[in-house]
Amino acid sequence: MFMGGLSTLLESPKKLMKKNINYVIPVEQITWAGMDVAVDLGAEWFARWHTDDPSLDFAPEDHCAGVVHLERHERDILLRGHLAGALTCTCSRCLALYLEPLAIEFDLLLHQGVAPGGEEEIELTAAELDEDYFLGDDLDLTGYLREQILLALPLKPLCRQDCQGLCPRCGADLNQGPCGCQPVEFNPAFAKLKKISQE
């Protein structure tokens, strides 16, 4: 695990690269001794991501900040990072906006070259999930940072675990109390189907 975290960013500012929204690092600058890159993902960085993928349904509350450490291991590069912050997400049940805290620790071993398998879908082992590939003379951290944020977000964001959601009839937020609609009579024939949908 990367132990430096935000304390490294605060205690050793001279060892860190200057803020760079593009986070493109020349590979030749990465040595066996390693280097730390200060990461501060603000509104502009997330706006660029939303431009690339308009389907994203979250935005930064303030910013996500941390440190990415890069080390040379022969032709490979070890990438260790820490990110902390919060994102404004939409609850999947009641559609209300809420803050989803982030505290991300990640380790990736980057191999120089083309990933095997091409466009074919292959099943990855647990070890291979912590590996990736890069090409060229520059290492763009953007894709790795985006991937780690997506992995940290829940598949079904919830404003709270006991969120009641919306009334299927009138659309009222049931977290605010009963809406007044008459309950729908349940057909016992659909009992098994309801059980499956809740699993």
Q: Which residues contact 84 (CB under 8 A, 6 or more apart)?
A: 5, 6, 64, 65, 66, 102, 103, 104
pLDDT for 186: 56
Spatial neighbors of 2 by CB under 8 A, at least 6 apart, are: 67, 69, 80, 81, 82, 105, 106, 107
Digit-by-digit pLDDT tens for the chain (199 residues) are 333 333 333 333 333 334 446 799 999 999 999 999 999 998 889 999 999 999 888 888 777 999 999 999 988 999 999 999 999 999 999 999 999 999 999 999 999 888 776 555 555 554 556 899 888 899 999 999 999 999 999 999 999 999 999 999 899 999 999 988 876 665 566 666 655 655 5
In the prediction, which pLDDT does 120 show?
A: 56
pLDDT at 63: 77
pLDDT score of 149: 94
| Angle at alpha carbon of residue 155, lines to 3 and 48, rounded to 5° | 70
Domain coordinates of the chain in residue numbers?
5-163, 166-199
Q: Is the pTM of this model over 0.75?
A: no
Contact criterion met (CB below 8 Å) for 115 and 133: yes
